[in-house]
Structure 1
Amino acid sequence: MKRPLFVAFDGPKGTGKTTLLEAVTRALRADGRKVVRLCERKRDPNRGETMALVNALARNPSAQLEWKVCERLAESRAWISRQVLPNQPVDSIILIDRWYPSDAAFRRSVPFAEVLRLNIERQVQVPDVHVGVVTAPEISWARAAARTRGLGSTVIHRLEEQAASTAAFERAVAEHGWVLCRNEGTVEEATQQVVAAIYGVLGSSRQSLAS
């Protein structure tokens, strides 16, 4: 490939995205691959201002404020797409913890189709592999409860909301043809599925270049 392979891990809270991303990183590196791990929130230059809007939205839900959050996130992703992603080694695999597909799990009044349009208009880089990590909401809720920080969500506070978030995300996965990874078994099983999907895209890219 003439540029890095870009892989996004997205989904509801507590589904094990970060743990899975770490396991996939180890598996790829063990196979001799150059892997770059990124986290959207840590690379977002406007994180503080955006989270202030998110907190205001949590206190006073409104479609107008949620739209502003979506715009700010899209603008930050556009900046990452211009300033961060092009600077990675061309022979690497970039794994990012959250990207715009995650909005499908958290947007309440803004349809994901509009979120997608915002990101495309701003030329946010489209992942080569979208990995949608899901579990039954009861499982992700229980996993989050076992963590020191809990669910760690500004907008989801009840199991019913977690269930709605999961259902919305699974619909988006089906509609957009993302890789659905049900992370309810062992990490090894989920890792094998994701690594196979990555190698499948890498293989297709090689064939395209050869032809």
Structure 2
Amino acid sequence: MSAFITFEGPEGSGKTTVIQQVAQKLESEYNIVMTREPGGVKTGEQIRELLLEGDGMDERTEALLFAASRREHLVGKVIPSLNEGKIVLCDRYIDSSLAYQGYARGIGLAEVKSINEFAIDGLYPDITIYLDVSVDIGRKRILKNQRVQNRLDQESVNFHEKVVEGYKKIIHNESERFIVIDADRSIEEVVSAAYESISKYLEKL
């Protein structure tokens, strides 16, 4: 049995922490592979460094680099893992490009979806966990955790509000794939809700 499950959300939604703790809970029952985008494989990690630490990048270049990293990640890690019957948990995927570059950057949802559909060649997630957090709470968490802020973290509040708007539009259009979880709550509550949702899905397979 294999499944491709992605985690999405704006900055400060707690995705990385949630996916790590959910993976730990699932490992006793399933063969789990945890990965991330951009990154996951050597070339993808090199592109990640350019994307998150570079300066003055053209918006379309940014979108194309995310798509290129995604393709390398799929071919090098996700597809082989699925073929081996594993459950792949991925921190970000195509929906991030649609929300960040397509909507918040203003390139266009259709345009960014087109280049990413070329990259993923039909491989959409089975389900997507969306961690729904307000921009205000997300920003406060980033500052409180004192994590190193990447180029996207440093964007304006208006940009991050547009990211959330973009996600809402995507979820509205593809509601059957998404499981929306209130991430304004404590990390323990969010992890529990995500774990229960994924467990129910996997039990049906």
Shared fold by TM > 0.5?
yes
**Identical columns (%):** 20
Q: Measured at CA, do residues 189 and 46 of structure 1 come closer, stay the same or move farther in structure 2, by a change above 3 Å?
A: closer
SS state at 2:151 partner: coil
Select which of 63, 76, 85 maps to 2:69: 76
Shift in alpha-carbon separation, 1:145–1:124, aligned structure 2, 3 A: farther
How many residue pairs get aligned? The number is 197
Aligned positions of 1:127-146 closer than 5 A? 127-146=125-144
Contact 1:181 1:193 in 2 (8 A): yes
1:42 aligns with 2:39: yes
Corresponding residue of 1:96: 90
Matched, 1:109 2:102: no
Q: Provide the residue aligned with 2:190 in structure 1.
A: 190
Q: TM-score, normalised by structure 1?
A: 0.79
SS of 1:59's partner is coil
Question: What CA distance in whole angstroms lies between the structure 2 residues aligned with 1:184 and 1:124?
Answer: 33
Residue pair 1:9, 1:132 contacting (<8 A) in 2 also: yes
Please give the residue correspondences for 1:1-211 in structure 2 after superposition, counting only pairs within 5 Å. 1=1, 4-30=2-28, 32-43=29-40, 45-48=43-46, 52=50, 59=56, 65-88=58-81, 90-107=84-101, 108-122=105-119, 123=121, 125-149=123-147, 151-154=149-152, 156-177=154-175, 178-205=178-205
Q: What code does the residue aligned with 1:93 have?
A: I
1:133 aligned counterpart, secondary structure = strand
| CA RMSD after TM alignment | 2.6
Structure 2: runs of 5 or more not aligned: none
Deviates more, 1:38-47 or 1:166-175: 38-47
For structure 1, the residue ranges without an aligned partner over 5 or more in a row are: 206-211
Give the secondary structure class of the aligned counterpart of 2:131.
strand
Q: Which residue identity is paired with 2:63?
A: C
| TM-score between both structures, scaled by the size of structure 2 | 0.81
With over 3 angstroms needed to count, the CA separation of the structure-2 counterparts of 1:163 and 1:33, relative to structure 1, is: same
1:49, 1:196 → 2: CA distance? 34
**How has the CA–CA distance of structure 1 residues 17 and 167 changed in structure 2, closer, same or farther, with 3 Å as cutoff?**
same
